[in-house]
Structure 1
Amino acid sequence: MKRPVNRLAQLAIGRLAIGLLTAACLCGAASADVRLGVGVPVTGPDATFGAQIRMGAEQAVADINAAGGILGQQVSVEVGDDAADPKQGVSVANKFVGDQIAFVIGHFNSGVTMPASEIYAENNILEITPGSTNPKITERGIETIFRTCGRDDQQGAVAAKFLAAQGAKKIAIVHDKTTYGKGLADETKKSLNALGITEVLYEGVNKGEKDYSAIVSKIKESGADIVYWGGVHTEGGLLLRQMRDQGVNAVMMGGDGIASDEFAAIAGPGVEGTFMTFPPDPRDRPEAAKVVQEFKAKNFNPETYTLYSYAAVEVLKQAAEAAKSLDAAEVAKAMHSGMTFKTVIGDINFDQKGDVTRADYVVFVWKKGPDGRIGYYQIK
């Protein structure tokens, strides 16, 4: 026979359950983490750069969490695949908003960063891009966007000065019609024209193309001895390989978009002698030595944007702790304050636009190293 349950006992049990639930919620709030989104091309032709940014951010988060997190809170990472496509980038940005992401590292492609950053700005999410170099990104008055890399007008000026010093006269400029590629080509063209050098050819090709016979024929007809490439390593490598296959010996020069070992793998032996602009290799900095060893232990080469991504997370931690806040607007104020951030790519500061104040592009050449492998080496 069931015993009747006392009404007072029922109320007491109910109150106890509510109390336990409230306590659980409070405990959850106390241990809430800092939500970091990483928006990159996980798939598609630019996935190599996406992997660099993701690995850099994840390693930085692991190291920061091991040291106590940010303002005593652990950092969690959510990766969004933008596939190097602006529309997909917007989808990733909207998902980050829905998932209550506080900060974003990314995106890689300037054409993706532009629309995604508008969404982040509207929703008080702070974004740091390690690889988007188009000048317009930080020219729009958005207080919560920054980059740890430089700008295309900076590397375009360095490229033009270098080519002029080499006595280059017949320069063909080819780009991939993207925000990054065309932007870089235009900035280099502008700097070359200012030095009195007029290009013999200015053409765009479609990103994703495989057959460059038509543009190679135009390069040959122009008599160019230099081909300046505005774009990334995939199309750039194919263009260079087909130039060599069709007997065009013009030297190629590009920007940071070809700074990947995959460029040499795609272009083949004809890559030797190619020039490119990029900052001094961050892997050689003493500040990066420990982190570089961490990556090597994982059999990952932290080239190009890996350490720029790692540095972006370091900046977030230092800025949040200086602001004593995890609010994007407050963290942005700290970043705009002129304070110096200690990072694996050296000491950096940000101007009021969100750009790093240190412009340090130099010229590299692709050649065989002591081990016989073709890689890129800084011209001293």
Structure 2
Amino acid sequence: MSPGSHQDSWDCSPTPSRALTPKKEVLMAPHDSMMSRSPLSRGITRRSFVGSIGLVAFGGLLTACGSDETPSGGTTTGGGASSGSGGGGGNIVIGEVHATTGPAASTYKNYFIPANIAVAELNAAGGIMGRQLTENLKDDGADPAKETQVFRQFAEEGVNFVIGPNTSTTCLAAVPLATQSKILNLNVSTSDKLNDVASYPYSFLIGPTNTPAMNAIVDFAVAQGWTKIALLHSNDTFGQQAVDPITARAKEKGAELVSVVEHAVDATEMTPFVSKIQEAAPDVVVCIQALVPTQTAMFNAFQNLGFDVPKIGTTSISSETLRVAVPAEAYANTYAVYLKSFSYTATEQVSQKNLDYLKLVTAQAGNFNGLTTAGLVYGPYDFLHMLKIAVEKAGSTDTEAVVKALEEMDPYDGVAGTIKFTAESHNGLTDDALVVCKAASGGDAAKSQGGFLLERG
């Protein structure tokens, strides 16, 4: 990236971006009214959930009654025969892609929990079209090179519906084959490219994609009077995709982007990069990193340099894993983009529906020390309940029919907020679903429910 008159760009050999697939047509159909509410709004209690817990084997990779290894090396959980996601009378298989090995495993180790909860609830309520759901978990190690093999295995096994992967780089690597195989998948990613419906008609998102998140960050900074903004980002897709929207939004809001510094995605010595940012004397630093070890090294560098400046990041910067790894004084002046539905103020509290959901999460997660919250308050739980409505509306597990039903579905009252897919946008959350919160407020045991609820900044 070429430095501008007010920018200091530091190139650390970024990973090349992957090309997009050719555009395809997307199904269009007239709207059909469907009233949609989260099952927690309809009175499913923790007791009824726990009573159904035997219907699925919790814990993803844990060996449990009814679990068996699939030929592809994934793990299938749930009772009864499995026949993929397609037609027939067997179970409907929900594929899941998570990093359970490799350097990112500690960051993403609990991301399967929302899907576990939804599958248990759906099975307890009779499944989808009378068919039980089975989870098929595959480990990608957060390695984009493995996604072709993972999704080829799903296609060979007849799996129509997949949750994951969990990073922008891996999602972008997976989506061409998912599209080719007509696998409907919920990407746990911030990449705006995954919402290109014409190119990726089977790709869905429920969460803050990059541009709305960066807009929220810049707007919050300017509202605080922090108009000299620096950007410190990793050299993967997740980090690089922040540059253009922050640059554009800063210009639009009359702010100045005084420094842009890039570092290796897995850097564990961050002092040179933070020092470079410090030279520009910014009012605030936007920090875009995905891996907890790198984030920890970054906060330590800020503290060791005596560089006490506000820091704003995406949801991952508010994780419990990071909060317990970083000295409190280094973390105190940190903010995170978060879901409004899981945030609170002195006068506005989190809904009972969302508190009930968190009770289900804590029942599985147990010890919160080391727990990453980001994946636990976003899309999989809501998406699987929406999938039930769509499949039963379509009367089929055919992915094109289900996509059409999802696009025509009325706004869904989920734990992530109000979710609405359309033929033009497969990201179900609107920009006003996002707020900026005090990251350290997750450490307030009485108010945060184990780090899940954050106080708005």
TM-score normalised by L of structure 2:
0.72
Q: CA deviation at 1:132?
A: 0.7
Q: CA deviation at 1:345?
A: 2.8
Please name the residue that 1:304 is paired with.
374
Please name the residue that 2:133 is paired with.
75
TM-superposition CA deviations, 1:296-349 (whole Å, max 9, x none): 233446833224221121111111111111011100001111423343334311
Please name the residue that 1:236 is paired with.
295
TM-superposition CA deviations, 1:125-174 (whole Å, max 9, x none): 10112x31111111251211111112211111111111111111332111
Match of 2:386 among 304, 309, 315: 315
Q: CA deviation at 1:38?
A: 0.5
Q: CA deviation at 1:30?
A: 5.6
Find out whether 1:330 has 2:401 as its counterpart.
yes
Please name the residue that 1:7 is paired with.
none
Q: Secondary structure at the match of 1:298?
A: helix
Please name the residue that 2:426 is paired with.
354
State the one-letter code of the partner of 1:278.
Answer: Y
Tell which deviates more after alignment, 276-285 or 333-342: 276-285
Contact 1:157 1:188 in 2 (8 A): yes
Q: Secondary structure at the match of 1:52?
A: coil
**Greater share of residues in helix:** 1
Q: Name the Cα RMSD after superposition.
A: 2.6
Q: Which runs of 5+ in 2 are unaligned?
A: 1-80, 344-349
Contact 1:173 1:228 in 2 (8 A): yes
- For 1:187 and 1:256, the matched residues in 2 are separated by 17
- For 2:429 and 2:361, the matched residues in 1 are separated by 28
Q: CA deviation at 1:290?
A: 3.3
State the one-letter code of the partner of 1:306.
Answer: L
Bigger RCO of structures 1 and 2 (CA < 8 A, at least 6 apart): 2
Q: CA deviation at 1:175?
A: 0.6
State the one-letter code of the partner of 2:436.
Answer: V
State the one-letter code of the partner of 1:115.
Answer: A
Please name the residue that 1:16 is paired with.
none
Larger radius of gyration: 1
State the one-letter code of the partner of 1:354.
Answer: H
Change (3 A) 1:30 1:202: closer
TM-superposition CA deviations, 1:269-317 (whole Å, max 9, x none): 2111101111125483333343322222334468332242211211111
State the one-letter code of the partner of 1:331.
Answer: V
Find out whether 1:367 has 2:425 as its counterpart.
no
Change (3 A) 1:326 1:371: closer
- For 1:327 and 1:311, the matched residues in 2 are separated by 20
Change (3 A) 1:281 1:46: farther
Q: What are the equivalent positions in structure 2 for 1:162-201 lying under 5 Å apart?
A: 162-201=220-259
Match of 2:261 among 181, 203, 214: 203
Find out whether 1:40 has 2:98 as its counterpart.
yes
Q: Which runs of 5+ in 1 are unaligned?
A: 1-24
Change (3 A) 1:86 1:370: closer
Contact 1:105 1:313 in 2 (8 A): no
- For 2:265 and 2:97, the matched residues in 1 are separated by 21
Please name the residue that 2:357 is paired with.
291
Change (3 A) 1:333 1:162: same
Aligned length: 354
Match of 1:268 among 327, 332, 339: 327
Contact 2:418 2:429 in 1 (8 A): no
Find out whether 1:377 has 2:454 as its counterpart.
yes
Q: CA deviation at 1:85?
A: 1.7
Match of 1:84 among 142, 167, 180: 142
Tell which deviates more after alignment, 306-315 or 295-304: 295-304
Change (3 A) 1:116 1:30: closer
